[in-house]
Structure 1
């Protein structure tokens, strides 16, 4: 009795190929030969799936590179195998009407709001979200500047001016075209601009140079009051012309006063002469 120890000759399966994902691919091992006869055809597709038969088909669900192995076994148990490589590509999904979109992407982007900053009030500066990344593409940059949950700025490098001093936690949220999102915060310390106070520089300058209403008017009033007081002291209170003191100016040295005195003297002299003659 002759024992068959010769393995089959496995068919040269059509060579390496590139196919689309989720597309059925035909494999054919019918050209395999053996002196007695091939009893079994076993296929291993490299993605966890297997099949048996001279001809089979298989669809690869995910993109990637797969090694497919065909093993042919004869009735005596002798076996031989051959391999081929199948490259599976990602294919856009048909959305109808001739449009296509990529298959769903579930990978979140990575947001990067940039380094912490220190700026002064009223000074324009730019945020920097350009180091944010995604496996496909970032389609939106949304900036919440004041922490209220609303978007004040958009874009990777928006410009902003803070009008009030303080520390602000600014949030950048990025999203990709499939709606995956990620957020990152950046701290911005806003300091008052040089030479300004809480009410602005103009009020402080007015207080310092004395040009305000209180300081300027005070000096003017001091001079005016002094003049008024001087005028009052040099006036009626010192010149004796007030009717309440003189009775209308009888002692002002006028000629009428001298005549009256002379007449009084004449009358008194006449009286004396008459008294002597008696």
Structure 2
């Protein structure tokens, strides 16, 4: 969204021993397949390279692999018929690349490989236990967030207390990130109401992944999450709007 940059992942090398049909020379079998990068930001250009052996090597080749026909399906409607193929993903999403080899006798073998195309180098989402944002001053709001990138799996975080999902210590890929939740609420040291033109006010800001907060006063507030990936010097923000009324 904000900038496009490719995140290169190592090529995946699959040994023949792990593929069905390797021991039967009457059928074609993949001995190696590379799809790089396996993840990146759209527009994402990937290169696929397949090596196949075995099967009936007679006939006229289109793939250059022992007279075997190599067909690529990139999961976005695009296809190719060659040993080395290229595709450009323009829409974010998870795609399954399917490679099929067929010999002149009709023997086939197929293998798949996942590719992830991201809208941004760091995709984040902030949310709470009040998705509509309508609360009272008596409500306890539990905030949380998700992050996704080529080397951050959003599902690797496991809280110490699953019942409350509150955890001061990060886990999984979230240890790579830093968090700043600005609750859009503050007060002066003397306890006076919040005054944005005064330099001596205290603002509620949290640096945990999932803080808990209650608004002391009625009003409308925009809670802003700023998530930073220091290794890339990338910061992304998400905002939650709350309408707070006095508790009955």
Identify the structure with bigger relative contact order (alpha carbons < 8 Å, sequence gap 6+).
2
**TM-score calculated relative to the size of structure 1:** 0.40
Give the structure with higher Rg (CA).
1
